[in-house]
Structures are given as structure tokens and as C-alpha cells.
A and B are shown apart, each in its own frame.
Chain A
């Protein structure tokens, strides 16, 4: 399988630019067959069948992922890159095969550009700490947007505090889209890094990544894309997008918690100093100084989350089998139906009405706090998120302390949407 990365990559480019013809014949077919792969979707909560609409917080896991982790511990467990014994060799091969798989999934040029982390948050912190502290000086600028998750905001705040660089944010419009006019004023020759979200976890907005990257490049800035929400919903190709860094988490795309990915262009990773020190990241160690391994090992100090990486590999296989195009088509159907039905209810304000949107429906219910909405829905077995979604600046932008958020995955059904709407009618009855 090794060496197939480039081929997989160019295949993904085609998927990005031209929808497959079989999809045009069969848009938006429900995917009930896949639903039965997720054991948790058949449990009951508070005596009601679970209606899981909190997928942007974390996705559920198919049997294939659960089994892969369980089988690894039952018959494959060993540390990697260390032993000469059989199990260690096998575990190392399995681990590195997932790196190849991730490279193909992202359309990266090589597996050497894939660093395993604990998640998106750690991936962004790695770039801010390693690239940022060795490259930024006082007066340089880091640009983010008004729709960032705290994980793509606070690491840059810390970096700017440490280096004297200035953090700026591109404002967003009332619809929840980036203000592209304002972007031009915010990108300056002093901008060294533009870090932005691909798919907003609150608004559902899909940002025009390729365009943003090209504008950043025109002033000489690097780009980091927070792909935590994009990875389970949109076909990806980092070479087509043109970004310098891309981060995502395993657990939001049907894989386990505790593992994520940082993609970085090879020459950038090669120029970056180590971040954490320890085993695995060294070439040779003396008592006073050491020399460091090449990327990606340089950024993977200590024993990595091996079983989680194996689980992530199973999740990638799973997503590939379902097909991100089919996933996208069905989720669009779910989102369209939910938006239409929820908007019909009295006193509902939908937060985030971008033209390009996916998988997330945030709203406020007039006069009723999101916590109370969430509690009544929970009583019906409907799991939604109620809160600020780790995006407090965004809440302030829209003048709400919090929102209710229903977020979809491909295994959701139109019945799930109906359960949400029925629950919201009950909310009004309880608090009206």
C-alpha cells in the first residue's frame, strides 16, 4: 500500500472539483444500512430511544472501530518503534499504515507530512508553540476569524503574549459568513499566519478555504486550517486547498478520542524545532545535548496513542466505504429539512444562515434559555448541545449568551429531525 499516497491524493482532487456522476443520479439517499453499525444508536435514554444530534461535539463509533481497538489490545498490543520482537514489529507496521491512510485521506504528498497528536487542539498548539515561537517577532501579526473555536484562538493569544505579535480577527457578517471585504484590510504584509476554521462548529458555515489560502499567500502569510468539523463531512485535499497546516480529530469522525492529526507541508515541518522532548523524537542523545529526528517523529515524543491510531485507521476505512460525497448529500437533506421545520416554529431565531453550510443548526428560542430547551429535549431522549460551544466571541457577536445546537451525522434519519421538532413544541408548552 505504501507509495499509493500520491495516487489517492489526485483521486481526491477529482472528487473535490467534480461530483461523481452516480451521485447526480442518486442524490441524498438515506443511509439506514450504516446506522446499524453503531451499537449506541439503539440504546434508550430516560426510557426513550436515543436521538443523537450532538455530533459536532463528538460522533458515535461504528462496531468496526470498536472492534479494531478491542482486537489490537486482545492480540496485537506492543509498543512501537522499539522492540525487535514480533508483536512490536506488527504494531509498528499497523501504526505506520494508518499514517499512510491519513495521508491519502487528506491528499497529502507523503506520510512524512502527517503528525499524530492528541487532537485538533494539540495540533494547533504544536504549530503555535513550535513554528510560532521560532518565527514570530514583536509587531508581526497573526490573523484569525470571529468564528473560531477557542482551540484556534487561545493558542494564538498565548503565542502573541509571549512574542509581542499582534492578534487580529476577521469579522463576520450577520449571516455568519466571513466578511471578505474586511479580510483585505486585515491581511497585511505583517501577517505571518492566517489560522481559520474550515466548517464552523456553531454556525455550520463552510469557509472558502482555497480562496482564503490564496489571499493569505499573496501577502506572504502561512495558513492553518482547523478541520475538526470538516473532516467527517467534506471531501478533503490539502494540496488542492493549498493550506500549509491542517488539523483534525479522530473522535469527531467516528474514531476514538485521544488521537488527532496535524498535516504540515514537509519543508515547514523540517524547519520547525521540537515541541516536546522525550523518547522517539531524537536522533541521538547525549547528556548535554541531543539531535532530533526528522518529522514526523520529531513531533511525537513519548509513546503515542497506538490503539487510538489503529482505531482512527478503522474509522478512515469506514468513512471511505460510506463515501464522503454520499455522506454530504444525505446530511444536506437532513439540514435542509431541520432548518425548514425549526424555522416554522414560533420564536425561533436561527444563528448562522450562510449560503454554504453543513451539518450544524444553531438557534435561540425567544425567552427560553438554551439549557432549559436542552433539558426538555433530553427528557425526550433527544441529545443536543446547549451552551457557548467554546466560541464565546461568536456568542457576543450575535448577542446571545448561548445557543441550542443540533448537529447531524450521516446515520441520522428524518425521524430524528421530527423528534427534534416535536421536542421543541413541547419546550414551548412547558415554559410558554
Chain B
């Protein structure tokens, strides 16, 4: 059985209090909204992708401590990654919070490992992955833009 202290690790509480990259982005190449109708959480994620590398990532919105801290740590984690790397990270993070971590994880996930407690609280998986799904969409938003620009 999961305990609350495993769920709300100090890193999560700290990122909830002072989220990183909590801002809008005017020169974003893509953005997407994440919406959890069950709890009313809404979050917007902005990405600036140049030469297939995520140069900047930010977010804003209202959410619980898990979704806010997850968005904060996500934006920090994907910066400097290629789109393919960011997608792989999404898969690994998703595996972690749904209780199906890849071999060697969570240790290799660095700070993201603090979300391992989420897997014991199935209804919170959506909170933890909200910003990640938005990030994936924001990458597609950028792809659509570049297609539109190249026609």
C-alpha cells in the first residue's frame, strides 16, 4: 500500500511551491493544453524547438502538487533533448508512474525518480502525466507548423 510520504516527496513539495519555467513563451514554436476534466486541472505547455532540439520549455496553469511538480521537472528535463529523446523520456516516465519501470530505473531517471510513489495511487497517474501529454502534443503542434510553412 502506498504511503503519503512516498507520494509527496520533498522534491515534489518544493517544486510545487516554486515551480521552474513557470511562464508563457512568446517565441514558442509549439504549444498545447492539457486538461483533466476529472479534477478541473488545466495546464499549457510551450516549447521552442530549433534544429530538432528543444531549446526551451515552459508551462502555466492550475493543478495539484503532483501535476505542478511534474510539469516543473518535465520542462527542466526535456530542455536540450532532441524530439526523439523527449519522446523516449515520456515513455520511460510513463512506465515509472504506472508501475512498469524499464530496467535500471528509476535511478537512471534522475530527479524524475521522485514520482515513483505515484504508481501506488492509480488515480494520480493522470495528474503526473498531464504536462507530459501536453508536451508531446506541443511537439506535434510544431511539426504541423513546419509542414504548413514548407508547402
> Which A residues lie at the B interface, using CB under 8 A?
46, 368-372, 375-376, 378-379, 386-388, 392, 395, 401-402, 430-431
Cβ contacts under 8 Å, A379 to chain B: 3-4
Given contacts A388-B40, A402-B40, contact A375 B121 (CB under 8 A): yes
Shortest distance from the beta carbon of A89 to any chain B beta carbon, whole Å: 46
- Chain B interface mostly: mixed
Total inter-chain residue pairs, C-beta < 8 Å:
53
Given A46-B3, A387-B38, A392-B40, 5 further pairs, Cβ under 8 A: A369-B65, A369-B68, A371-B127, A375-B7, A430-B8
27 contacts between A and B (CB under 8 A): A368-B65, A369-B39, A369-B63, A369-B64, A370-B64, A371-B39, A371-B64, A371-B65, A371-B124, A372-B64, A375-B4, A375-B8, A375-B121, A376-B4, A379-B3, A379-B4, A387-B38, A387-B39, A387-B40, A392-B37, A395-B40, A401-B41, A401-B42, A401-B62, A430-B8, A431-B13, A431-B65
Cβ contacts under 8 Å, A46 to chain B: 1, 3
Determine if B38 and A372 form an interchain contact, defined as CB atoms under 8 angstroms apart.
no
Shortest distance from the beta carbon of B130 to any chain A beta carbon, whole Å: 12
Shortest distance from the beta carbon of B14 to any chain A beta carbon, whole Å: 11
Determine if B39 and A370 form an interchain contact, defined as CB atoms under 8 angstroms apart.
yes
Determine if A388 and B7 form an interchain contact, defined as CB atoms under 8 angstroms apart.
no
- What separation, in Å, do the CA atoms of A430 and B8 have in the docked complex? 9
Chain B residue with the shortest CB-CB distance to A388: B40
Cβ contacts under 8 Å, B116 to chain A: none
- What separation, in Å, do the CA atoms of A392 and B37 have in the docked complex? 9
Chain B residue with the shortest CB-CB distance to A371: B64
> Which B residues lie at the A interface, using CB under 8 A?
1, 3-4, 7-8, 13, 16, 37-42, 62-66, 68, 121, 124, 127
Shortest distance from the beta carbon of B41 to any chain A beta carbon, whole Å: 7
Interface centre among B8, B64, B124 (most CB of A within 10 A): B64
Cβ contacts under 8 Å, A371 to chain B: 39, 64-66, 124, 127
Shortest distance from the beta carbon of B124 to any chain A beta carbon, whole Å: 8
- What separation, in Å, do the CA atoms of A379 and B1 have in the docked complex? 11
Shortest distance from the beta carbon of A183 to any chain B beta carbon, whole Å: 28
Determine if B39 and A388 form an interchain contact, defined as CB atoms under 8 angstroms apart.
yes
Shortest distance from the beta carbon of B38 to any chain A beta carbon, whole Å: 6
- What separation, in Å, do the CA atoms of A402 and B38 have in the docked complex? 9
- What separation, in Å, do the CA atoms of A370 and B36 have in the docked complex? 14
- What separation, in Å, do the CA atoms of A372 and B7 have in the docked complex? 10
Cβ contacts under 8 Å, A386 to chain B: 39
